[in-house]
Amino acid sequence: MRPLFASFVLLIATSCASDSRGEEIERLEMRLSGWSSLEVVIDAGGNGTYKDSEPHPDGTTGGFKLTRAELFELLAELQPYRKQAVPFSEESAMRFIERACPKGVPEVTDAGAFYIRWQSANDDVHYLADFGCDYERLADRNGQLREIVKGLPIPSVR
């Protein structure tokens, strides 16, 4: 799972909806990974595309449309995580890839992760939640992130 996630982050390295700060979000990229992976891209107009690695071998791809209200709701749900996001750079992407769970913290391998990147004219930030690191203490957060993705109009995740 980590090599697949790493390749996604490195790949990213190489009408508008406002967030709660009034900033126009031009592009939202998300990846929910685990035994399978789901990549989602949503533009400022609420036009979304997805690629789900299931069912193997080819997976499923498609598109969807969020109304302006649905896009605002999604941005609001993601806002707590955006506050924890760091500026995007190749260096910060590598830190995400190389980050390890602190010694002594409960860890499960291959539990999956959630990655998101917010892009706007003045900002480019990203956030990573490793579901396997401190999984008991962060179970609520991990569940909330999974539910956000399940709330998208993507048939394969409902």
Query: What domains, with CATH codes, occur in the chain?
Result: 2-157 (3.30.1560)
Q: What percent of the chain has pLDDT over 70?
A: 84
Q: Does residue 4 surpass a pLDDT of 70?
A: no
- Please give the average per-residue pLDDT across 48-70, as a whole number: 93
User: Is the CB of residue 132 less than 8 Å from the CB of residue 23?
Assistant: no
User: Is the CB of residue 156 less than 8 Å from the CB of residue 133?
Assistant: no
* Residue 120's pLDDT band (cuts 50, 70, 90): very high
Size of the chain in residues: 158
Question: Tell me, what's the pLDDT at 17?
Answer: 47
Q: Does residue 31 surpass a pLDDT of 80?
A: yes
Top-confidence residue, 9 or 40: 40
Backbone angles phi, psi at 69, to 5 degrees: -65, -40
Residue 151's Cβ-side half-sphere holds a number of Cα atoms within 13 Å equal to 14
- Please give the average per-residue pLDDT across 138-157, as a whole number: 92
| Rounded Cα–Cα distance for residues 148 and 66 (Å) | 14
Helix (H) and strand (E) counts for the chain? 4, 8
Helices (H), the chain: 2-13, 68-82, 90-98, 139-150
Backbone angles phi, psi at 17, to 5 degrees: -110, 135
| Rounded Cα–Cα distance for residues 44 and 17 (Å) | 5
Name every residue whose Cβ is closer than 8 Å to that of residue 68 and which is 6 or more positions away in sequence.
17, 46
Q: Does residue 8 surpass a pLDDT of 60?
A: no
- Please give the average per-residue pLDDT across 28-48, as a whole number: 95
Angle, in degrees to the nearest 10, between helices 139-150 and 68-82: 160
Question: Tell me, what's the pLDDT at 110?
Answer: 85
Q: Does residue 6 surpass a pLDDT of 50?
A: no
The residues with which 114 forms a beta bridge, in sequence order, are: 32, 129
Find the range with the poorest average confidence among 3-7, 36-40, 85-89, 134-138: 3-7
* pTM assigned to the model: 0.82
47: which 2 tokens? 């036009």
